[in-house]
Amino acid sequence: METEIHFRTATEEDLSSIVAMLADDVLGKERECYEDPLPLSYIKAFQAIVSDSNNELVVACYGNKVIGVEQITFTPYLTHQGGWRATIEGVRTLASVRGSGVGTQLINWAIQRAKERDCHVIQLTTDKKRPNALRFYERLGFKATHEGLKLKLDK
Amino acid sequence: METEIHFRTATEEDLSSIVAMLADDVLGKERECYEDPLPLSYIKAFQAIVSDSNNELVVACYGNKVIGVEQITFTPYLTHQGGWRATIEGVRTLASVRGSGVGTQLINWAIQRAKERDCHVIQLTTDKKRPNALRFYERLGFKATHEGLKLKLDK
């Protein structure tokens, strides 16, 4: 019997697996903190995400195992005659499944959800330090028409 | 008696002035529809924005006149140890006041709000067709560290 990848909304029980993926990343290892118990800040952020109807945290699973994650934010804007947009952030897959198409399935899942939510565009930013990620998104049809600018804020 | 620029949350009475600014723009004129009465899609988007506690539509006013607009979205993420981010979108100023510093004041206002909301970063994307806008944001301290990718969705 073949086990297929399926997608569902993340639950708090998935949080440890998700943070492990965020931390097992060339940029994430510098800024995440994967320990047991998890820092409270992750739990508070998780609760803020799942209690907001315009945010969805999605996991890809193979059987019971979480092998991928992404967050989709739906935002109403006045521009484009009052069009909604979907923004993808925090896409990660388990190191052992990279290159197997899970990332592509995650993005296609987000595109489908964005259409269901009547968005006219789906967007994301990718760090210029990740050239492979840029090529990955371009292969899926995304166009790098914009510059993505950030300003870090002192706490 | 000097009249100063002040900032406040937009009301539905401001909507016509806002859409006029969105339409009076090199890219906006191709995609917006400023007419009386306004298309219902703008009114529905406005209501969705103001009823969402994680979205703020801000206008800059000179006396009673609306001279600038921006939207700020606050989003909780798991990344960066569960950090909130602020995203700025739809920044426009009245053509007659461009170059007078209103845009800078709008962005500084958004930065202040992002700090009040405990965001660790404030971000935006700007169309590569707007080189002046890129320089404007870089002068304010933003770094173009990311590529901004979009995929248009068929309705």
Its ipTM equals 0.94
Mean pLDDT for the stretch of residues A54-65:
96
Residues above pLDDT 70, as percent of chain B: 97
**CA nearest A45 in B: which residue?**
B82
- What would the pLDDT profile of A72-103 be if each residue is shown by its tens digit? 999 999 999 999 999 999 999 999 998 889 99
| Helix/strand/coil for B21 | helix
- Please count the structural domains in chain B: 1
Examine the pLDDT at B54 and tell me if it is beyond 90.
yes
Could you give the angle at the alpha carbon of B86 between the alpha carbons of B82 and B91, nearest 5°? 165
Mean of per-residue pLDDT scores for chain B: 95
The span from the CA of B32 to the CA of A32, in Å, is 41
From B55, B140, B145, residue closest to A75, measured CB to CB: B55
Query: Is residue A104 in a domain?
Result: yes
Instruction: Compute the nearest-CA separation of B32 from chain A (Å).
Output: 5
Query: Is residue A39 in a domain?
Result: yes
From B73, B79, B150, residue closest to A146, measured CB to CB: B150
Instruction: Say what the pLDDT of residue B147 is.
Output: 98
Cα radius of gyration (chain A):
16
HSE-up of residue B99 (Cα within 13 Å, Cβ side): 2
The span from the CA of A79 to the CA of A71, in Å, is 23
Q: Judge contact between A76 and A82, C-beta under 8 A.
A: yes
Query: Is residue B147 in a domain?
Result: no
Instruction: Say what the pLDDT of residue B4 is.
Output: 87
**CA nearest A137 in B: which residue?**
B149
Residue at A143: amino acid letter = K
**Single pTM value for the model:** 0.95
Mean pLDDT for the stretch of residues A131-150:
97
**CA nearest A140 in B: which residue?**
B151
Query: Is residue B85 in a domain?
Result: yes
- Domain range spanning residue A72? 6-139
Instruction: Say what the pLDDT of residue A1 is.
Output: 44
**8 Å CB contact of A55 and B42:** no
Mean pLDDT for the stretch of residues A47-68:
97
pLDDT confidence bin for B1, thresholds 50/70/90: very low
**CA nearest B48 in A: which residue?**
A76
Query: Is residue A46 in a domain?
Result: yes
- What would the pLDDT profile of A105-129 be if each residue is shown by its tens digit? 999 999 999 999 999 999 999 999 9
| Helix/strand/coil for B133 | helix
Instruction: Say what the pLDDT of residue B98 is.
Output: 85
**8 Å CB contact of B148 and A146:** yes
Instruction: Say what the pLDDT of residue B2 is.
Output: 54
**A90 vs B contacts (CB less than 8 Å):** 77-79
Which residue has better confidence, B4 or B16? Answer: B16
Examine the pLDDT at A3 and tell me if it is beyond 90.
no
Instruction: Say what the pLDDT of residue B37 is.
Output: 94
Query: Is residue A152 in a domain?
Result: no
From B73, B82, B124, residue closest to A75, measured CB to CB: B73
**8 Å CB contact of B46 and A126:** no
Query: Is residue A66 in a domain?
Result: yes
**8 Å CB contact of A149 and B149:** no
Instruction: Compute the nearest-CA separation of B1 from chain A (Å).
Output: 35
Query: Is residue B149 in a domain?
Result: no
CATH number at residue A17: 3.40.630.30
Examine the pLDDT at B132 and tell me if it is beyond 90.
yes
**8 Å CB contact of B31 and A81:** yes
